């Protein structure tokens, strides 16, 4: 059996920025004194004339990004998710999204898997915050291949984009020839008994859960939701109609994230089915090894299995 390749999506972000810098003179990258952690240091080394360190002043960085965007540049503004979505929320809303500027926010270190940095840095509310901003697109890739493709696609998209990347190295799911489709969910495996809609690092856990469920005679359909806003409601509703039950899995609060978006879509679709949400249950995180924390907070394959059984029982 081939070795499993594990890479953090933040690494793919840094490498993709270097690629963009090689082919697009209008791409500039900003960081808030975290270039080593966000991996924008790769871009800084390759293209120092197009890299700007704004210091520990994230709100100001978003204003600088807005100014550069109005001058015709495609701007990637990078920092931890807690600071990008939390500290700089007002500037993202009013200076970037309101005028619909061409700024791409590279938010790394999202979710519980930040690990030892603890609750102050484990942002599990960022998707909810960004979903509420009109015109904001939200991308949460499942592995390094999808992350690279998403960054390249974001550079071609006109308007604000929030891209969510992780610190933890996670298994590669896709092949090198993977094609990223803007706003289109990916059906990874077909099934008949329950639909599992997953995003980010939870996609791999959903794949593992499907194997466990299959051993128990349960057929699960796995959907990778890389674009949380706008949501691919057509694919989700078609799967819901086929299986009659949905589980959502995300490394984010169950409030306002993928689970909320899917539940809204299913209810508004006219043929509601049970939707069981798996995520962080309205609590703060805590410091500890990332993998252990994911298990502590139930963000793993076994918990997806239990949620799938619960959803099926509710049909």
> In which band, very low, low, confident or very high, does the pLDDT at 288 lie, cut at 50, 70 and 90?
very high
The number of beta carbons lying within 10 Å of the beta carbon of residue 14 is: 28
Q: For position 2, what pLDDT does the model report?
A: 54
On the question of pLDDT at 219 being above 90, the answer is yes
Cβ-proximal residues to 270 (8 Å cutoff; 6+ apart), any chain: none
- Write down the residue that tokens 């489709």 correspond to: 181
The CATH number for 6-171, chosen from 3.40.50.300, 3.30.565.10, 3.40.250.10, 3.40.50.970, is 3.40.50.970
* pLDDT tens digits for range 24-75: 999 999 999 999 999 999 999 999 999 999 999 999 999 999 999 999 999 9
In the 3-class helix/strand/coil scheme, how is the chain assigned residue by residue?
A: CCCCCEECHHHHHHHHHHHHHHHCCCEEEEECCCHHHHCCHHHHHHCHHHEEECCCCHHHHHHHHHHHHHCCCEEEEEEEHHHHHHHCHHHHHHHHHCCCCCEEEEEECECHHHHHHCCCCCECCHHHHHHCCCCCEEECCCCHHHHHHHHHHHHHCCCCEEEECCCCCEECCCCCCCCCCCCCCEEEECCCCEEEEECCCHHHHHHHHHHHHHHCCCCEEEEECCEEECCCHHHHHHHHHHHCCEEEEEEEECCCCHHHHHHHHHHHCCCCCCEEEEEECCCCCCCCCHHHHHHHCCCCHHHHHHHHHHHHHCC
Residue 209 CA to residue 260 CA, distance in Å, equals: 21
The fraction of the chain above a pLDDT of 90, given in percent, is: 97
Residue 30 CA to residue 101 CA, distance in Å, equals: 15
C-alpha angle 125/129/132, rounded to 5°? 145
Residue 53 CA to residue 37 CA, distance in Å, equals: 13
The fraction of the chain above a pLDDT of 70, given in percent, is: 99
The active-site residue out of 58, 205, 250, 251 is: 58
Residue 141 CA to residue 149 CA, distance in Å, equals: 9
| CATH code 3.40.50.920 region(s) in the chain | 186-313
| CATH code 3.40.50.970 region(s) in the chain | 6-171
- In degrees and rounded to multiples of 5, residue 189 shows phi and psi of -145, 135
On the question of pLDDT at 1 being above 50, the answer is no
Residue 283 CA to residue 218 CA, distance in Å, equals: 31
Give mean pLDDT, residues 246-273.
95
Give mean pLDDT, residues 268-283.
94
Told to judge if 58 belongs to the known catalytic residues of this protein, a careful annotator would answer: yes
Assign a CATH topology to domain 186-313. Answer: Rossmann fold (3.40.50)
Give mean pLDDT, residues 185-191.
96
Cβ-proximal residues to 20 (8 Å cutoff; 6+ apart), any chain: 27, 76, 151, 152, 155
Say how many residues make up the chain.
315
Contact assessment for residue 286 and residue 115, using Cβ atoms and an 8 Å cutoff: no
* pLDDT tens digits for range 223-258: 999 999 999 999 999 999 999 999 999 999 999 999
Residue 96 CA to residue 84 CA, distance in Å, equals: 12
Burial of 10 (0-12, 13-18, 19+ CB in 10 A): buried
Q: For position 270, what pLDDT does the model report?
A: 84
Q: For position 271, what pLDDT does the model report?
A: 77
Mean pLDDT estimate for the chain: 96
Q: For position 159, what pLDDT does the model report?
A: 97
């Amino acid at each position: 059996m081939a070795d499993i390749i594990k890479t953090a999506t933040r690494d793919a972000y840094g490498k993709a920025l270097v690629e963009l810098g090689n082919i697009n003179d209008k791409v500039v990258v900003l960081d808030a004194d975290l270039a080593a952690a966000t991996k924008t240091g790769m871009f800084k080394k390759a293209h120092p004339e197009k890299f700007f360190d704004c210091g520990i002043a994230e709100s100001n960085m978003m204003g600088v990004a807005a100014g550069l965007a109005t001058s015709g540049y495609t701007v990637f503004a990078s920092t931890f998710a807690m600071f990008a979505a939390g500290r700089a929320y007002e500037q993202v809303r009013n200076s970037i999204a309101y005028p619909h500027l061409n700024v791409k926010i590279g938010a790394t270190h999202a979710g519980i898997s930040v690990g030892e940095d603890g609750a102050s840095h484990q942002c599990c509310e960022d998707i909810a915050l960004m979903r509420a901003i009109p015109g904001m697109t939200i991308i949460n890739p499942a592995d390094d291949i999808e992350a690279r493709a998403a960054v390249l696609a974001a550079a071609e998209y006109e308007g604000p984009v929030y891209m969510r990347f992780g610190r933890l190295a996670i298994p590669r799911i896709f092949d090198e020839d993977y094609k990223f489709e803007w706003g289109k969910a990916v059906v990874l495996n077909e099934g008949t008994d329950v639909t599992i809609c997953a995003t980010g690092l939870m996609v791999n856990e959903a794949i593992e859960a499907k194997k466990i469920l299959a051993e128990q005679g349960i057929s699960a359909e796995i959907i990778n939701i890389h674009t949380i806003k706008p949501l691919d409601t057509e694919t989700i509703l078609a799967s819901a109609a086929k299986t009659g039950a949905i589980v959502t899995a995300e490394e984010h609060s169950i409030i306002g994230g993928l689970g909320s978006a899917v539940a809204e879509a299913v209810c508004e679709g006219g043929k509601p089915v049970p939707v069981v949400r798996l995520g962080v249950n309205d609590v703060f995180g805590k410091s500890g090894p990332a993998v252990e924390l994911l298990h502590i907070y139930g963000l793993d394959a076994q918990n997806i299995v239990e949620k799938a059984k619960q959803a099926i029982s509710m049909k």
